[in-house]
Structure 1
Amino acid sequence: MTDKKPSFFKRLFGGDAPAQPPVPPAETPAPPPVTPVAPPSEVPSARPPLPGPPETTPDYIEAVEEAAHARQPEPAAPVPAPPASAATEPKGWFARLASGLKRSSDQLTGSITAVFTKRKLDAATLEELEDVLIQADLGIETATAITETLRRDRFDRDVSGEDVRAVLAAEVEKVLGPVARPLEIDGTQKPFIILMIGVNGSGKTTTIGKLAQKYAGEGRSVMLAAGDTFRAAAIEQLQIWGDRTGAQVISRPAGADASGLAFDAVTQARAEGRDVLIIDTAGRLQNRDELMNELEKVIRVIKKVDPSAPHATLLTLDATTGQNALKQVEIFGKRAGVTGLVMTKLDGTARGGILVAIARQFGLPVHFIGVGEGVGDLEPFTASEFAQAIAGRD
């Protein structure tokens, strides 16, 4: 019998192939290795582990965070804070005024710069400038005065936008100077009664709060009357201002008679010898005759207690209303005897020039202007500062 031919492995290596281990059945896979659990003494925290997967337990998380923290480099020494810049320091009044009037001044001065592309001042340029000034709500008379000044002094000569802004500031100050008068509190009148009037949303109640804080800061005893009985929110708002300033607030439930409230407030303020009584009223449109009649009734009732009162009737004007403010001054002046103006929200409009038109047409004192919601954003009116700010000059 012929010998069996050696296998290829034996011929190649000179020996038999190693025995193959038995393959385990597919249905019985090898179990995963078991991770030994550390004894309790080796656990980083002494607290017992909570049930659940180890990676979600507080002990495990705490251990990981501690290990990660240990790998972090030493923190660098803290960098000293830079000194406060001018942008973070409290702004003075002129800076707040210029910032509040920025929309008005940017639009006005931008239009002026666009007009003066020529080097020589001619009739066509003056006509364009006059249109720009009228569109900025400065009024026809003021616009004409500015262009006539330039015609007289600089016609057919080199002129720049800065030259025009200087003339603009000077002319605006000339118009506003006579009406920039502070509100004087007559100490012989106890109380000195201020009646606040105006259309809806003009800022009467907020202005009252700011005035209350101003007068309380001067050491005067102040009383407030929540005469806007149509709005519960106005009553609450005035009460908050009263709490802030220490001023007593006379109020009635919403819907109560406003004239009766005014009567009670004046009577009580006189009996207590208050220095200042500020009476709020409901906002009303100047073209609503029945609402203007109600305002006249409030004034008549006040005079029954003190014939000389109200000693100041302040009309709050929202600068964003533009030309409509002229009509408000006219009608409220006739129906309520306005003695002075408070211009609010100059920071929310590009139509701040309307104050110039109002001053030229009516000549009423402008006591305060507002350029924001803060207490410090309502200040006595100064013609020179307003003129420089609206002309975009430092």
Structure 2
Amino acid sequence: MKEYLLVALALLGVLILGGLSLVVPRLRRRPEPPLPETEVDTRAEEDLAGPPVEAVESEFSTGILVEPPVVEAPPLEVPEPTAGRLVRLRSRLSRSQNALGKGLLGLLSRDHLDEDTWEEIEDALITADVGVDSTREIVDRLRERTRVLGTRSATELRALLAAELVNALDPSLDRSLKTTPREGGPAVLLVVGVNGAGKTTTCGKIARVLIADGHSVTLGAADTFRAAAADQLQTWGGRVGAETIRGPEGADPASVAFDAVRRGIEAGTDTVLIDTAGRLQNKIGLMDELGKVKRVVEKHGPIDETLLILDATTGQNGLEQARVFTEVVNVTGVVLSKLDGTAKGGIVIAVQRKLGIPVKLVGLGEGADDLAPFDPAQFVDALLGTEPLARDA
């Protein structure tokens, strides 16, 4: 009887195990609930990707989170005051005195001022780019004064020469820059010149001169033919906190100039300084374009100052440049660049005597503050130097 009972229990156990083997797999394959519409099913990706793997820490890592360094804007430069700047640059200006200064003083130091000596004085002045007409006038006046006054002292002769040179520079001309803002808008300065005169650099230096004198400045990069010119001008402006308005390369220069003045009005700037593309005075199309820039800018109001940048080393060729530019845009002042070194100081006299346009600023070096307001007496004094003549009474 017990044997039948054990067999029955064994059969029952087999039936129970067989039933469980059929039910458990079905439970495992039960479908998972659907995901909400806003979620993305990533479970399959997780199954394929396997467990996350931690990144291996670099042997140079400190384990400390380091924030990127903060790049600070460079501090604004403070330009040197313009008062007395020409005196401070005297030594650089005196480099160009060889022909005009020492040569003349050497001739005047001779014991006898005969006709040949006066002809040599004329030649020295002409060589120094003073110009033929101006030279004759200076020499005639100097001869007359030495004859009438009976001057023989070296110091007196130097004083007479200095007086004649200052007189030739016409100290009565107005050399101030018209940079005072007018009612309803800033003063507008248009900067023009030929290629290679150092125009964009000088324009940046003029901005420094204005800021040194307490003016706020907006720069207009209307030289759209060269992207480098706009970059260069923007660099100059950034150093002293002047905003630069520019357009894409090849844009209409008149449009950029117009936008610069408009921005100056909006910002309440004292002065807007517009740099134009360099152009040869004999290129009619380019000169007409410059005239267009002037007309478009004048829709905001009159241009207060048109400055012509002249390379002092070009000598008498600069006179023709000045004449043509004056006819097109009515130049009101000249800035002589590169007056140090090989330049001949007489060109200052020639420009003013021939054209009646005052020299207002002179560039005497490559430094940022080597641009100085022009003063005739200080200029002549630097040209002649302080050395006495070889003889004295």
TM-score, normalization: structure 1?
Answer: 0.70
Map 1:1-394 → 2, pairs under 5 A: 93-112=85-104, 115=107, 118-155=110-147, 159=152, 164-176=157-169, 177-179=171-173, 181-189=175-183, 190-304=185-299, 306-308=300-302, 310-393=303-386
CA shift at 1:278, angstroms? 0.7
2:97, 2:383 within 8 Å by CA — same for their partners in 1? yes
**AA of the residue aligned to 2:340:** D
Q: Which moved more, 1:233-242 or 1:146-155?
A: 146-155
**AA of the residue aligned to 1:107:** A
Q: Secondary structure at the match of 2:335?
A: strand
**AA of the residue aligned to 2:159:** A
Q: Which moved more, 1:202-211 or 1:282-291?
A: 202-211
| Structure 2, unaligned runs of 5 or more | 1-83, 388-393
Distance 2:153 2:224 in 1: 54
1:146, 1:171 within 8 Å by CA — same for their partners in 2? yes
CA RMSD of aligned residues (A): 2.4
Change (3 A) 1:366 1:158: closer
Post-superposition CA distance 1:271-297 (Å, at most 9, x none): 332221111100011111111011011
Distance 1:342 1:151 in 2: 32
| Structure 1, unaligned runs of 5 or more | 1-91
Q: Secondary structure at the match of 2:287?
A: helix
Q: Which has the higher contact order (CA 8 A, sep 6+)?
A: 2
CA shift at 1:162, angstroms? 5.6
CA shift at 1:192, angstroms? 0.9
Distance 2:85 2:266 in 1: 38
Distance 1:376 1:221 in 2: 17
Q: Secondary structure at the match of 1:374?
A: coil
1:142, 1:172 within 8 Å by CA — same for their partners in 2? no
Change (3 A) 1:124 1:240: same
CA shift at 1:179, angstroms? 2.7
**AA of the residue aligned to 1:238:** L
Distance 2:355 2:93 in 1: 22
| Identical residues among aligned pairs (%) | 47
**AA of the residue aligned to 1:185:** T
**AA of the residue aligned to 1:213:** R
CA shift at 1:383, angstroms? 0.9
Distance 2:309 2:159 in 1: 30
Aligned residue pairs total 302
Change (3 A) 1:115 1:297: same
Post-superposition CA distance 1:73-98 (Å, at most 9, x none): xxxxxxxxxxxxxxxxxxx7345443
Distance 1:217 1:166 in 2: 34
